[in-house]
Amino acid sequence: MALLTKKKSGTENLDIADGGDLFGEMETAPRADLDLREKNIRRGKLIKWGLIVSLSMIPVSCLGSVNASNLAASNQDEVAELKANGIADMGKVEDDPGKFAATSALQSWLDAVPAPLPGGQIMSWDGSVKQPGYDKTKVSRMLENFTVLDGAGRGYTATLEVSVDPRGGAQVMFGPSLIPIPQAATDGWAGTELWPGLEPGGDVTPSVSTAVQSWATAYTSGDADALRVAVGDGDSSHTYLALSGITSVTASASAMATTKDGTIARVELQPTWAGRSNSSSGQVTPMIFDVLIQRADTAAPQVVAWGAPGSGPRLKPYVNAITVPANVLGTATAPSAETSEPTTKGDPGGTANTSAPTGTGSPSASGGGTSTPAAPSSTSDASSSN
């Protein structure tokens, strides 16, 4: 008779003769593959949440990298500025309460009798630098830097050390020191090029001279509309700032070169300021400009842009224009011509004239009517009409 057997956990096969239970439930050994599956599920969940957390941190890390890059670029700019000021071996340039205390102390030092620096005067404040080693203290130390000039025209860097407390107070501790600023050599190192990369060429023709003089007259007239017409700008939303306070001007061009936007020229302006006479007070040092001329090789050249000496190769037509919003066109008043005597300041009609340079005149809006300058009179009042 064949023996009937069953599997029983942890035992060998048992036959019925030995007391095996023929009708009992079959018992099976634990399945190792089920435990492995549960472990894999738990591991998968952990990996999933780890990926979620990692992905969520990417924007933060990128922002931190951008901020770090911006900070590094900012630091590089500050280092370049320090090098330009001759204090590359110091720290960050800052504006702090020590500026006022240092300025007052330096001025008092210059005013002392006898004078420590004969004829000395403060030319500029060049920033402050935080001293290292005070990070763990409530008081910080700053080096305040100035440029000073003596009576003989020699320049110096003057530095004072100032303590600044957390409440904003400042006290000068030491200084000033004086470090000479290098003087320019006279061995021709600067060169004579007007515009690097461009060789002046071509003659200044009578037509070019006439165009330059026409522009100079309009530029020093104080009349924005006259200057716009002289430049030939047809855009009615453009206006220009013209110098005022000048009764006459002589312009002369001395060199020309060709660019893709036209012909550039070096121009000298010899002005006569209102209330002054060049013959009685000596010749005024001329103003120097680079101007851009279009159609310079024709009988009708025209100055269309101007700028500082050396800016000629970068000039573009009508680059000096100021765009006036449409809602204010026609609301401005053109200034009147300058008289030989000053008028009262604050003239509501915009006709106030001074015997000294007044900078730029108030432009009238283009397209808002033509202004007619008043002729100079022997009185102190001048009128204008639009």
Which of 232, 250, 211, 219 shows the shortest CA–CA distance to 363? 219
pTM of the model: 0.55
4 vs 324: CA distance, rounded Å: 109
Maximum pairwise Cα distance, the chain: 151
Digit-coded pLDDT (tens) for 136-167: 778 889 999 999 999 999 999 999 999 998 88
324 vs 36: CA distance, rounded Å: 78
Phi, psi of 327 (to 5 degrees): -75, -5
> What does 83-133 look like in DSSP terms, one character per residue?
HHTT-TTS--EE--THHHHHHHHHHHHHT-SS-SSTT-EEEEEEEEEEPTT
Digit-coded pLDDT (tens) for 107-144: 999 999 999 999 999 999 999 998 888 877 788 899 99
Digit-coded pLDDT (tens) for 236-260: 899 999 999 999 999 999 999 999 9
Which of the four pLDDT bands, split at 50, 70 and 90, describes residue 344? very low
pLDDT of residue 24: 47
Which of 127, 364, 348 shows the shortest CA–CA distance to 244? 364
Digit-coded pLDDT (tens) for 285-302: 899 999 999 999 999 999
List the domain boundaries for the chain: 93-180, 206-328
Structure tokens at 262: 């036209």
Angle at 311 between CA 305 and CA 317, to 5 degrees: 25
Q: What is the CA radius of gyration of the chain?
A: 41
Q: What is the CATH number of domain 93-180?
A: 3.10.450
Give 243 or 68, the one with higher predicted confidence.
243
Structure tokens at 24: 């009992």
Contact 193/184 with Cβ under 8 angstroms?
no
* Residues sharing a CB contact under 8 Å with residue 288, sequence separation 6 or more, in sequence order: 266, 267, 268, 269, 308, 309
Q: Indicate the SS3 state at residue 50.
A: helix
pLDDT of residue 383: 37
Digit-coded pLDDT (tens) for 198-237: 888 878 999 999 999 999 999 999 999 999 999 999 998 9
12 vs 4: CA distance, rounded Å: 13
Which of the four pLDDT bands, split at 50, 70 and 90, describes residue 331? low
